[in-house]
A = this chain, B = another copy of it.
Amino acid sequence: MKKPTFKTDEQGRIIFGRFEYVLQSLIFLSLVSFAIETLPNISPQLRKSLGRFEMVTVTIFTIEYLLRLFYGKPRLRYAFSFFGLIDLLAIAPFYLSTGLDLRSLRAFRMLRLVRLLKLVRYSAAVQRYHRAFVIAREELVYFGIITLILLYLSAVGIYYFENPVQPKIFASVFHSLWWAICTLSSVGYGDIVPITAGGRVFTFFVLIIGLGVVAVPSGIFASALTQAKETEK
């Protein structure tokens, strides 16, 4: 019997060619099926079909994993690579859950999401984003720190203004932190809102300073991306 051979990339990973698209579609479908399973009122019949589909996808992913494991170069190296671990985590819960009760199975299943990360491998352009991230890393880290300091100071400030008037809503600095996150991200759910004059004036200053700070990183990253694109040429 002739041993099959596979094309591999420079890191010794198998390239399945057009079949990669089939794998990607399968990952996508298994994610949709996962979401459908969470619907509260689905029929037992549909649940059964989804279970069967799950079995098929896991089988295919297992075959893929074994092929990558034994036919990659050097052999078994894949097992300890980043994507090898992800692929294992994405199929392991299925095998481990047999014999366990349904609930724990459900918790394990969440790991099935890790399959999503496999999508990332297939795109070449991810490299550019990685480079852009490296270029902008320092700035992003410092802006991250400044944002955290700002969130903390905003939370403490609003706590002192609003806690005496709304002791249930602004119950602690942690509750205020939730307000600070919602406000500085400009999401503003409206579940926790300052009502004192002082708290509103404080919010004004927080927004004036904060929105600027929060918006800068995306500008930094966009310019880093332009830089990363230029170095390609």
Contacts and interface: CB of A to CB of B under 8 A. Distances in A.
B174 A182 contact: no
A218 B221 contact: no
A152 interface: yes
Number of copies: 4
A149 interface: yes
Majority secondary structure of chain A interface residues (helix, strand, loop or mixed): helix
A131 to B, nearest CB: 13
Interface residues of A, number: 66
A39 interface: yes
A153 interface: yes
A43 interface: no
B212 A218 contact: yes
A92 to B, nearest CB: 18
A139 interface: yes
B221 A212 contact: yes
Given A123-B145, A181-B204, A172 B35 contact: yes
A26 interface: no
A189 B179 CA distance: 11
Given A113-B156, A116-B152, 6 more contacts: A35-B152, A35-B172, A39-B174, A126-B142, A178-B200, A189-B193
21 contacts: A35-B156, A35-B173, A110-B156, A113-B153, A116-B152, A125-B138, A129-B142, A174-B197, A181-B200, A181-B204, A186-B187, A186-B188, A187-B187, A187-B188, A188-B190, A212-B218, A212-B221, A216-B221, A219-B222, A219-B223, A223-B226
10 closest Cβ contacts across the A-B interface? A219-B222, A215-B218, A187-B188, A35-B173, A190-B190, A189-B190, A38-B172, A39-B172, A38-B173, A185-B207
